[in-house]
Amino acid sequence: MLQRTLSIIKPDAVARGLQGEILAMIQASGLRIAAMKMLRLTEAQAGAFYEVHRERPFYGDLVRYMTSGPVVCSVLEGEDAVAAYRALMGSTDPAKAAEGTIRRKYAQSVQANAVHGSDAPETAAREIAFFFSQTEIVG
């Protein structure tokens, strides 16, 4: 099923100049980039984006990290894009991420793990609308 998902190249990866290499991996996997923008999240925006984790012990640190520098957000489109991109990213913990995944290659820690990807089609719809208007998604 043709589907869309939200990708974020997180501050640790942008700070190391890895956006080009990560986007190349995304495109090589067959996912199409349907929208893209670079921005720096405010504390309120990062807090709202990760609202689901508000009660978790790592929430405050996560919001600080996600606001520490610019991020590159994109909408990816393809067959089963949500699961396909989760597979390409690898596990949240880079130590557990499979060989050939973005996180295995580029993540520095469980927190600074280079990329975000939506975890379900409903989440993807909400996360895409968080960053992009209809007219910013092309093709």
Return the number of the residue (24 or 108) whose C-beta is nearest Mg ion: 108
The closest alpha carbon to 44, from 21, 70, 57, 63, belongs to: 63
H or E segment to which residue 36 belongs: strand 32-39
User: How many Å apart are CA 88 and CA 77, to the nearest integer?
Assistant: 14
Return the number of the residue (57 or 139) whose C-beta is nearest ligand UDP: 57
CB contact at 8 A, 10 and 112: yes
Q: Which stretch binds ligand UDP (CB under 6 A): 21-29, 72-80, 106-114, 127-135?
A: 106-114
Residue 110 interacting with ligand UDP (CB under 6 A) = yes
The closest alpha carbon to 74, from 54, 60, 88, belongs to: 88
User: How many Å apart are CA 94 and CA 64, to the nearest integer?
Assistant: 20
**Residue from 19, 67, 111, 123 in contact with ligand UDP (CB under 6 A):** 111
Residues near Mg ion (CB under 5 A) are: 119
Residue 123 interacting with ligand UDP (CB under 6 A) = no
What residues from 48 to 67 belong to the interface with ligand UDP (CB under 6 A)?
Answer: 58, 62
Site residues (vs ligand UDP, CB under 6 A): 58, 62, 92, 110-111, 113, 116, 119
